[in-house]
Amino acid sequence: MEEQLGVLAEISVGLVGFSSVLVVFRRRSASGDWKPEDAFRFKLMLEAGLAAGALAILPAAIVGLGVPTSQLWPSLCALLLGYELFDLVAKRRQVGRLPPEVLSRALSNFVLVAKACVVAVQALSIADWVVPRGPGAYVFGVTWLTIYSGLTFYRLVTAPIVASAADASPND
């Protein structure tokens, strides 16, 4: 499992680094301003990717402190559960500030269902009911965060760029 978490950390940090450079050059307007929906997507991508990277390397750091594995995975699942619940509440507020037509309803619903699944798996693992205690539930949650970061990168790059009147040059 540690190897899988290491791979997830590499993927998430690599995705954040590469995509940040690419997105900054592609999405900025001539004035240097970001549209609110692009800034929101970029923030989602960075937060999910960095959270996935940090959560992927956290088990090794905690094991290095001598925490027994019987306490490790339930504690990490509780941390991930708390992060997902906090993130869900925070993002719902941020989404409410955006015009509804700028976000894909289908993708938003998919993300909501996926986050609910991650929350449920973490809670079931903590309770040791249906989902056994151990690294599986935690790796599932960190994998979701990596996928979520990739999805937001994809959406940011493929969302149409609409030039504002201020961005258009006289020769356009």
Asked if 126 contacts 78 with a C-beta cutoff of 8 angstroms, the reply is yes
How far, in Å, CA of 88 to CA of 168, rounded?
37
DSSP 160: P
In this prediction the pTM is 0.83
SS (H, E, C) 41-60: HHHHHHHHHHHHHHHHHHHH
Higher pLDDT, 33 or 48: 48
Reported as a single tens digit per residue, the pLDDT across 4-45 is 888 888 888 887 777 677 666 665 555 667 788 888 888 898
How far, in Å, CA of 52 to CA of 70, rounded?
22
pLDDT, residue 158, reads 82
How far, in Å, CA of 143 to CA of 48, rounded?
10
How far, in Å, CA of 168 to CA of 59, rounded?
50
Asked if 49 contacts 55 with a C-beta cutoff of 8 angstroms, the reply is no
